[in-house]
Amino acid sequence: MIIAKSCGKDYLTEMKLDAEGFHAVYADQGTDIGGAGIDMRPGQLVLSGYAACMNIMIRRWLNEEGLPFKNVTVMVDMDNSTPGVSKFYKKIEIDADIPQEKKDELIKRADSCPVCNILKNEKEFYNMD
């Protein structure tokens, strides 16, 4: 469970796992809407989880297959300009001395990472007691 608490002025928010020993992550709003603009906006945190999950999974698969690599870079963006539709865009670069076909396979597999599945799945929202 994630717990988000207001902290300080404006819209600065601290998020922590409901467990000890984890560092806090902070969110804010941009100065254009009254925030301090010092941390990521909530939507940017969603995109961060999306990018991080694909990055981690690709590196895990490379390690599992014993394929050396220098770096994996995942860039993501989102377009919410159409009401009711969120379009996600990604670009993945794998810096490794492996065939392009293998890179393409890993990039395609990244679409099945846990966060991708959360974003693609139908959602239901409930209040907790």
69 and 88 assigned to the same domain: yes
What does the pLDDT look like over 65-123, one tens digit per residue?
999 999 999 999 999 999 999 999 999 999 999 999 999 999 999 999 999 999 999 99
More confident residue, 118 or 37: 118
24 and 48 assigned to the same domain: no
Pairing relationship of beta strands 2-6 and 71-79 according to DSSP bridges: unpaired
Looking up residue 114, the CATH number of its domain turns out to be 3.30.300.20
Say if 128 falls within a structural domain: no
20 and 46 assigned to the same domain: no
Q: Which residues form the domain of 90? A: 42-120
Say if 125 falls within a structural domain: no
Cβ distance 50 to 115 under 8 Å?
A: yes
Q: How many domains does the structure of the chain reveal?
A: 2
Say if 48 falls within a structural domain: yes
